Amino acid sequence: MISTINAVQKLTRFAERMLTPRILHFAKEQIFWQCPGLTACESSPSSLPVGVYGADTKLELKWRRALHQDRLTDLDTADLNAIWQHIVRSYTSCNLTFSGDKLIALSGIATAMQRGLEEKFLAGLWDATTVQDRPLADLGDQLCWTAKTGKKINGSPCVRYKDYRAPSWSWASLDGIVTLRDRIIERNPIPTFEIKAVSVTLQDEVWVTGPVKAEGSRLELRVQTLPMEFKATSREWHRWEARCTSVDGEFTFDALMDDFDEVKSMSGDTDGSTILAEVVILACDVPDGSYAGHGLVLKQYEQGTDTCMYTRAGCVAFSGLAKGQWQDVVERSAWRDIVLL
């Protein structure tokens, strides 16, 4: 784990290296050159063979290319998403408890990506609905990022920043190691949600990849909220057996959940081994006859009296759910409109 100052500095260096088309690297023994068309050094001024790049450099060259492309191919789009996944993971892995807003630190790269992708930046997530011919429904997948604790923090769970940084459905609201899911559009065998509206309010409206404020930042969904009981199946906090009961029947499945303090605070007993929560399913698939997928654990928004107001308390991954059980409960559950703050 590197120190806070170093993490911010290294992210800045990485951004500078990615964003400037031409670089003169003044190194120990010679000057190295890098532009989109040539990499060279003083002793091999007309070019360096591809073989002299290690894995890191090859990856970086690919990414630089994608960031400086005038017109993006599908491959470039995939590269840009890989950069974002990678950067978020790397950056949130550093112990940044005392650092400033994550969105400010990542703003430069986000701006470059936005120029290429032409998607709308949503406090760390990307809204592809603004682009023609781009698959629309992947915001559900993007919402299913997972948070966990670095070993360094001695097992205490991830925490939400005390000061408002981002809506609860954005990873930028959280201090913990964040993993984003691949932006591959998974076909839901049964439609489980519909995004009605999504918006974030910028602190400064010209800084579209900059910090955001609470007022007006919300996600409106049409979903089925399923009441569930999670029982810890091992000493490890992340593994659970989940049970959903309703008048139409019940089903159980194996679940993995975020290591997050808000999830734990929802515990129904003193030792924290049982959690009662409402869950919405945002992605599911039938890989081998049984259902698997991802959903969000919701928490009632306490300050309001409106029962449709929630915050995102965690992400749950489920597997091993038989088709018949699913149909009994999920297909008969009522649809309702909720707001995630």
Partner 1 sequence: MICGRCRAEFFAPGTWTTLRSGQRFDILRWACEVPEHKHCTLCSTVLKDTIAALDTSQNTTDALSKNQPTSNWQRDVKVWPQLPVKVERRTGRLSFIVGPYSADFILQDGSDFNGISLKARLFIMSPRSRGSEEASVNLGSSTECDGSIQQAKDWLQACNSSPEHAECAFMARNQTRRSQGSGDDLFVPTRLLDVGTTEKPEIRLVGDTKKEGVQGPYTTLSHMWGIPMGDRFQLTNENYEQFCRRIDITDPKLTLTFRHGMEVTRRIGVRYLWIDSICINQGDDADFVRESTKMEEIYRNSYCNIAAVDSENGSQGLFRSRSPEDLPPDIVKFDGRSYTFLRPDLWDQQVLSGPLYSRGWVLQGKP
Query: Using CA atoms, how far apart are residues 111 and 271, in angstroms rounded to an integer?
Result: 45
Least distance (Å) between residue 232 CB and partner 1:
23
Of the two residues 45 and 268, which places its CB atom closer to partner 1 in the complex?
A: 45
Of the two residues 115 and 187, which places its CB atom closer to partner 1 in the complex?
A: 115
**Residues 6 or more apart in contact with residue 6 via CB below 8 angstroms:** 94
Least distance (Å) between residue 257 CB and partner 1:
17
Of the two residues 106 and 330, which places its CB atom closer to partner 1 in the complex?
A: 106
Least distance (Å) between residue 104 CB and partner 1:
7
Query: Using CA atoms, how far apart are residues 195 and 136, in angstroms rounded to an integer?
Result: 10
Of the two residues 25 and 323, which places its CB atom closer to partner 1 in the complex?
A: 25
Instruction: Determine contact, residues 124/166, Cβ cutoff 8 Å.
Output: yes
Least distance (Å) between residue 91 CB and partner 1:
7
Of the two residues 161 and 207, which places its CB atom closer to partner 1 in the complex?
A: 207
Instruction: Determine contact, residues 115/227, Cβ cutoff 8 Å.
Output: no
Least distance (Å) between residue 252 CB and partner 1:
28
Least distance (Å) between residue 26 CB and partner 1:
4
CA dist list (Å): 258 to 117, 160, 171, 177, 179: 29, 13, 12, 10, 11
Of the two residues 197 and 206, which places its CB atom closer to partner 1 in the complex?
A: 206
Least distance (Å) between residue 210 CB and partner 1:
6
Of the two residues 50 and 75, which places its CB atom closer to partner 1 in the complex?
A: 50
φ/ψ of 142, rounded to 5, equals -65, -30
Least distance (Å) between residue 206 CB and partner 1:
6
Of the two residues 67 and 125, which places its CB atom closer to partner 1 in the complex?
A: 67
Of the two residues 203 and 307, which places its CB atom closer to partner 1 in the complex?
A: 203
Least distance (Å) between residue 13 CB and partner 1:
6
